[in-house]
Amino acid sequence: MRDLPRLHEISLVLIRHGLGDLVRRLGVASLLERAGEILHWGQVTHSAQLEPQQRLRLALEELGPTFIKLGQMLSLREDLLPPSWTTELARLRSNAAPVPFEHILQVIERSLGTPHAQAFVDLEREPTGSASIAQVHRARLHDGRAVVLKVRRPGIEAKVEADLRLLSHLAQFVEKEVPEVRRYQPVHIVEEFRRSTMRELDLATEAHNIERFERNFRGEPHVLIPHVFPQWTSEVMNVQEHIDGISAEDPAAVERAGLDLKLLAERGVDNVLKMILEDGFFQADPHPGNVIYLPGNRIAMIDFGMTGRLSLGRRNQIMNLLAGITRRDSEPMVDVLLDWAGAEAVDEEGLAADVDELVADYGDLPVKDMRIGELIGRITAMLRTHGIVLPSDLTLMFKALITLEGSGRKYDPEFVLADRLKPYVERALAARYAPAELGRRGGAGIGQFLDLMRAMPRDLARLLKDARRGRLRMDVDLKRLDIFVGKLDRTINRITIGIMTASVVIGSSIVMTVTSGPQVFGIPIFTVLGSFGYLLAFVNSVWVVLSIWRTRSH
């Protein structure tokens, strides 16, 4: 196993932080020991005295970028983890010590295929930012324009890919061997995490994201998206326009510049809501560090490595949830949550009761008193209670909304996200029933129906051909099949005994009509046999009735 040394390293880090139990329970210890690797169980640091969630955070920080990002992703999953764990994992940071400039320069020149001086002048040695995947350096083009170079850390890809392989193997093992975890779909969660991380590693993907945001905000005079220079962009580097302004992390500087804090908060929120609810493509981490304020109360957004996508169907589900609360109608909300549950068995009555309680708490609440972060917390807690896993594309959206609400209130204490959200919901719901939209959906439905009609003769011919060749097969996967089979078995037994009882009654009646033949104590033998048959039929009838009564009472 090529990743065995890394698995050994991970295990030692977990043991040092008092998480050796986890190494044993996951079966990693026995695997390493069979491979001849030695685990030092006694090398436990002082962190072993801390709470389990604190120990896990420290271990993830030591394990590097992949595990830090995994922890950050899990910090968003309040549908899977209790708040004490998500709060602790949210403290994870992706900051990292800078890579020496000489190593970064090698990456830049390999990407360009030429000496850097042919493209850039005044390339700064000191990075303006250094994170776990990339670091940023300023430079100028030969025409004088200021740019920033985002460069991937050398060697990071191989290490991340090895960690992702190990996580995939681990998720498969856990899903197979730990039944109580299976419903949370660890394989699916790790696969989503793998795709997201690989997208972040490819800096050309971020450049494409920026170009898409640029198109989406074209014509918006108060929004600036940095221009990307595709001629110098590759998977290890992208080059963007440098934007000079005031960071949203510094409200005092914003105020000194004479900018309108309240207007900036409203515009910033509207930008993100447009991305989420109208475009279905959004910056997943809209914290103040990724926002720059410019003269004229304009807003620039930077860092598009992490993005979220929402299909039209998913956006409609969100609208149904929000509309259900504002209209005090819990039924569409329950339908959405059951759709998220998929094939998993859910206590529908219990879920409906919890949704009714949520609607009662928030339905009559004035918009100015509604806190979206609290509402999201209630929804995710309800999902966790009922064992429903939040769709992965919604975790980033929920994170963006919570970050947005906090940022808005930082600039305007009276800011209410629900107030800004309401017009978007109303417009979206009205648009569903606009004549143009109804016509579009009707046309799409007719098109699908015609496609189905065209395909039906061919599909039916194939079905009949398979049936003639004896190759027709039907796979049926029934949940709790053993219970179903048990009930069916008992039902068949009752029917069988009922038929036998009826046969005995009929047979006994026929036998008792015969008066000739031998006698027992002066009674014809056939009368005795018939009476015995009636008695047996009576006992069988009583057994069937009692069996049915017991089943109904249970």
The residue among 92, 110, 134 that closes a domain is 92
Same domain, yes or no: 47 and 107: no
Same domain, yes or no: 390 and 418: yes
pLDDT at residue number 228:
94
Q: How many domains does the chain have?
A: 5
Same domain, yes or no: 375 and 275: yes
Q: Which of 136, 156, 162 is nearest to 148 (CA)?
A: 136
Query: Are the CB atoms for 45 and 173 separated by under 8 Å?
Result: no
Q: pLDDT by residue for the chain (554 residues), tens digit each?
A: 667 778 888 888 888 888 888 777 777 777 777 776 777 777 777 777 889 899 999 999 888 888 988 888 888 787 788 889 888 988 887 777 899 999 999 999 999 999 999 999 999 999 998 888 899 999 999 999 999 999 999 999 988 998 999 899 888 888 887 777 777 788 888 898 898 889 989 999 999 999 999 999 998 999 999 999 999 999 999 999 999 999 988 888 988 999 998 898 889 889 988 999 889 999 887 778 889 999 999 999 998 888 889 998 888 888 888 888 878 888 888 888 888 887 667 888 899 999 999 888 887 777 677 788 888 888 888 888 888 888 888 888 888 888 888 888 877 777 888 888 888 878 877 776 667 766 766 677 677 767 777 777 887 788 787 777 777 666 655 555 555 566 666 677 667 776 777 776 777 677 666 666 676 666 666 676 767 777 777 777 776 666 666 654 44
pLDDT at residue number 551:
54
Residue 318 belongs to domain spanning: 246-430
Residue positions annotated with a catalytic role: 285
Same domain, yes or no: 388 and 445: no
Same domain, yes or no: 44 and 84: yes
pLDDT at residue number 425:
78
11 to 6, 19, 168, 178: CA distances (angstroms) = 9, 9, 16, 20
pLDDT at residue number 478:
53
Exposed e or buried b for every residue in 299-328, given b needs 16+ CB within 10 A? bbbbbbbbbbebeeebbebbbbbbbbbbee
Same domain, yes or no: 292 and 350: yes
Question: What would the two tokens of residue 302 be?
Answer: 């930077």
pLDDT at residue number 548:
64
